[in-house]
């Protein structure tokens, strides 16, 4: 499986989140042999769990393992500080980023911890999220921390 194939799995996860009424952000994790070991999509609105970001959900499906240092993680949006913390804690060495134009994320954290990343700025990732933001500005404000979810 190539890195682009891995991003395609993450994009499918993002679309799944969109069909559930959630934020279209997806993530997938691949082991050194090219097998998908985890995948997930943002579930914060579906579960009311503010930590249910796509990368966190993908890690949860991967489960307890001792081979994180051989993984590649793909995400449709540049990882936030919390998800970058997960990546650095488990020393996932390579990250594929589908979109870092909508939200630049915490790339400096990844760089400081010698995590390599490739920014693809895939048009489907960018367009899918930007369309959702344009259609859901109040929900996006909640994600950004500018509005309370009950407003």
Question: Which residues are known catalytic residues?
Answer: 55
Rg (CA), the chain: 14
44 contact partners, CB below 8 Å, separation of at least 6: 22, 23, 50, 51, 52, 53, 143
Query: Residue 5 is inside which H or E element, if any?
Result: helix 3-19
């Amino acid at each position: 499986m190539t890195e682009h194939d891995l991003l395609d799995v993450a994009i499918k996860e993002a679309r799944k989140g969109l069909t559930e009424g959630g934020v279209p952000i997806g993530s997938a994790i691949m082991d050194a042999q090219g097998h998908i070991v985890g995948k997930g999509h943002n579930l914060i609105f579906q579960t009311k769990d503010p930590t249910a970001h796509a990368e966190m959900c993908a890690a949860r499906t991967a489960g307890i393992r001792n081979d994180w240092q051989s993984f590649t993680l793909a995400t449709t949006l540049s990882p936030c500080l919390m998800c970058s913390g997960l990546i650095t804690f488990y020393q996932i060495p390579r990250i594929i980023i589908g979109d870092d134009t909508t939200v630049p994320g915490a790339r400096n954290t990844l760089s400081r911890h010698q995590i390599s990343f490739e920014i693809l700025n895939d048009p489907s990732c960018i367009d899918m999220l930007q369309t959702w933001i344009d259609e859901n500005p109040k929900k996006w404000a909640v994600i950004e921390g500018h509005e309370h979810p009950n407003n």
